[in-house]
Structure 1
């Protein structure tokens, strides 16, 4: 079992081009944090906890910062948990993506079993080979998330869509022709929305109206295509720091790229001891710890599936936004 293996911290020193500056960051595993397909990290300020999912097991996980302990729960009757979004004003309720439904799950953060209490909405009910994937709430509490094909080749069958939903309203399609709907982030200062469709191998920016939730003017700001298709890096989850820099997880690249979205330049490569890096979120009491989920798909060896914390980045981020439901 992975929980019986002791992982040593990975410390990497980087030498800057200016003034011979050396900065270092440290990559350390969280205890008993394994998820076969870890995804959707979300930092909750109220509980000082990192919530995330084991997507293909239908499980929610909570890392308690003060206790340095991970709690896990199985959602009763469900085999998928694509994301976990705490509900504003309801500390034991979470929006979770179960197949093509966004449901409300009641969990006290400790119990080993959680229950679905109601369904918010369903998308693509006729598309039984599709499922929901990554989702987040924007800074105003709106839901944004999308679907992907999980049976068959999602690179060939682009049957996914990106959706928006607001409390009291109907779900609407933001974008069609999606292969794997993935990372999302917002920058209120720059009035931008960032989005990843993994099958496009790139990160797009949109002009974003925070009052209406409308995005426009898509533009490619970071491209992970290589000279050969088999060498393309797969962008997965996404987060942003308070300086507006993006942190792009690569599913097959053992790396998170810190990217300046205005220039497309890579400012830093954060390396991990496993390949399938799925997503990241800033957290901790000072919001200066980068929490990173990974996967153990396709017989990846240990420490694949471990969840990590990265310290020493000299950057801070934003807490996860609550969903208004």
Structure 2
């Protein structure tokens, strides 16, 4: 027979376990975080800041965790900013994708203007209708990023490419025949690279050699095709947690899917009050906050374009890696 005190302890443990099973996540907007086409969130652990871009405004944004404040700047003389990556060892320098060039810009994270220092490299000079889209650094500090057609139909004119660049080396093509080059993520434990071409409606995994940066053996691990073209969800940005689960943003689905890439199973659907979810990144002091960018394209109503934080996911991720140049 259980004593009352022992029963109380076991009951409390059971209720705690059940509450843990049913614990819900919380979605909250960051203050003054609007970006018309928000993209490319990158968590800088050293500065406890989230960097991201407003693509069609050539905007750079920095959310300061400690101040709970967003700072905004425009890249001087530019009309597009596809991504922003901090440079290793240069606290005020960033690589920014402007058109088909990767520029080094100087920004203190506060001033309303970011100054262009120089061009790091340029691609696809023959495709004036193309621009850089998503880009990240792999865990070794190498650049991986891709292009897309932004004038015309990206689903018909697959003129985009995925590129790799290593400090001291030349830019090289990882993949051609790309419609909209988008989400990228790496899993060092599983030796995998994950990649999204939005126009393929799927997430692919690659075997990845972290010493050489070579990706091989593509395989579809998550398919967002539905029964007809009208039902297609558009996969956009991508991040990964420390257990190897993927977080796939849907541009027209108001959702981020948490996916087990080994089974393709959806573990969780994270819902938002706006449709165009563009990307996400883990951040915060404990890397357990999921920061999420959105867009307000095609006259989407408010709160479209807001940047969010998601807490209560019981998951942690990785900070962004600085680009080595």
TM-score tier (shorter): over 0.9
Question: Structure 1 residue 112: deviation in Å?
Answer: 0.4
Whole-angstrom CA distance in 2 between matches of 1:96 and 1:125: 17
Structure 1: give runs of 5+ residues left out of the alignment: 1-17
Q: How does 1:34-113 map to 2 (within 5 A)?
A: 34-113=34-113
Task: State the TM-score, normalizing by the size of structure 2.
Answer: 0.94
**What corresponds to 2:138 in structure 1?**
138
**What corresponds to 1:226 in structure 2?**
226
Question: Structure 1 residue 19: deviation in Å?
Answer: 6.1
Q: Secondary structure at the match of 1:199?
A: helix
Whole-angstrom CA distance in 2 between matches of 1:143 and 1:114: 21
Task: State the TM-score, normalizing by the size of structure 1.
Answer: 0.94
**What corresponds to 1:273 in structure 2?**
273
**What corresponds to 1:239 in structure 2?**
239
Question: Structure 1 residue 298: deviation in Å?
Answer: 0.1
Whole-angstrom CA distance in 2 between matches of 1:129 and 1:75: 20
Matched pairs, number: 308
Q: Larger Cα Rg: Structure 1 or Structure 2?
A: 2
Question: Structure 1 residue 126: deviation in Å?
Answer: 1.3
Question: Structure 1 residue 178: deviation in Å?
Answer: 0.2
Q: Deviations over 1:62-119 (max 9, x none)?
A: 0000000000001100000000000011110000000000010100000001111011
**What corresponds to 1:157 in structure 2?**
157
Q: Deviations over 1:180-202 (max 9, x none)?
A: 00000000000000000000000
Question: Structure 1 residue 120: deviation in Å?
Answer: 0.7
Q: Deviations over 1:20-40 (max 9, x none)?
A: 821210000000000000000
Whole-angstrom CA distance in 1 between matches of 2:129 and 2:55: 16
